[in-house]
Amino acid sequence: MTRPIARVLTLLELLQSGGIRTVTELADRLGVDERTVRRYAGHLIDLDVPVESVRGRYGGYRLAPGYRMPPLMLTDDEALAVLLGLAAGRRSGSTTAVGTAGETAAAKIRRVLPDRLRARLDAVLATLAFTAPPREAAPPDSAVLLPIADAVARHRPISMRYTAADGRSGERTVHPHGIVAHSGRWYLTASDPAIGEDRTFRLDRISGVRALPGSFEPPAGADPAQRVLTGLATAPYRHEVSLRVQGTAEQIHARLPAGIAIVQELPPPDDAAPESGRWARVDLRVERLDWLPAVLASLDRPFVIERPDELRGLVEALAARLAHSARRGAPHA
């Protein structure tokens, strides 16, 4: 595609986003002078695209109300990226497509693609397989996600109905900080002004969202994703586990993700030998302990169990089973 044609299409995309665009703004975005912008606008008019010229101090160009872009013009890579994104998003629960919305969106895209490209992309989707089963997690309702996202962007408080894990439901007023998609679920991080604490809410348990008058100042340096990971790692569970592991946080998180474990690297003792390596404290809260011995063994690093004693017994039992299996079938001395 020659550069002038590409720039004319870019101009159409800019106008398609809505509102009046000044000639100066369009020239800057396209990297051309204002005279060239006017020539490109003329090219669109020649193609029967209803570009309107608006006069005055804040004048420029806009598209006539109600105009919609004709059939999609996507390259092979762009079409593949869109359809694979829809497929992966539905699989992981990271899209907001409820019910069959993802399938109908993909079908609409395929309908406007050339036959050659559509057949090739359908072949990709038909042969694509995922190694993990889909999670049983419903994507958030757009009636919940969209007003919350708008409130986050505008720093506006919201009122919402929230159903907790124990089934209790009630109205809450919060200051929303961010939206996070993690492991097939969507979360809202917010502060609760009534109790002066930061909270994390699952979006699939939220309903009846409405923006309230006024605004708030978000906390400086807030990291919604880290807030969710920390909240998940410190949620109340049956067992509290504390370990010391020889290794860096990155090495430990390779087997114990941040959503499961809090890892804090420890300073080396003054008398530590250089070859002793760095150690880290690892804290977890889990419902069951039976899966941890195998994970600790897979770390292939020295570790010390501080609590609970029950975990120490499970590790010893796993070690005994492994030793017994290793001896099985070995030649006698």
Banded model confidence at residue 254, pLDDT cuts 50, 70, 90: confident
Whether 176 shows a pLDDT value over 90: the answer reads yes
Domain made up of 239-326: CATH architecture: 2-Layer Sandwich (3.30)
Winning range, highest mean pLDDT, from 102-111, 125-134, 277-286: 277-286
Rounded-to-integer distance, Cα 317 and Cα 323, Å: 10
Query: Where are the alpha helices (H) located in 207-308, listed in sequence order?
Result: 224-233, 249-253, 292-299
Whether 173 shows a pLDDT value over 90: the answer reads yes
Q: CATH code for 142-232?
A: 2.30.30
**The pLDDT of residue 113:** 73
Banded model confidence at residue 185, pLDDT cuts 50, 70, 90: confident
The stretch 266-277 carries a mean pLDDT of 66
- Please state the domain extents for the chain: 3-63, 76-127, 142-232, 239-326
Rounded-to-integer distance, Cα 136 and Cα 53, Å: 52
**The pLDDT of residue 3:** 55
Phi, psi angle pair for 252, to nearest 5°: -75, -40
The whole-model pTM stands at 0.48
Going by C-alpha positions, the residue among 178, 161, 75 that lies closest to residue 120 is 75
CA distances to 39, 124, 136, 142, 228 from 204, rounded to whole Å, are 50, 31, 12, 11, 15
CB 211 within 8 A of CB 156: yes
The stretch 97-111 carries a mean pLDDT of 65
Whether 1 shows a pLDDT value over 50: the answer reads no
Banded model confidence at residue 311, pLDDT cuts 50, 70, 90: very high
CATH class of the structural domain 3-63: mainly alpha
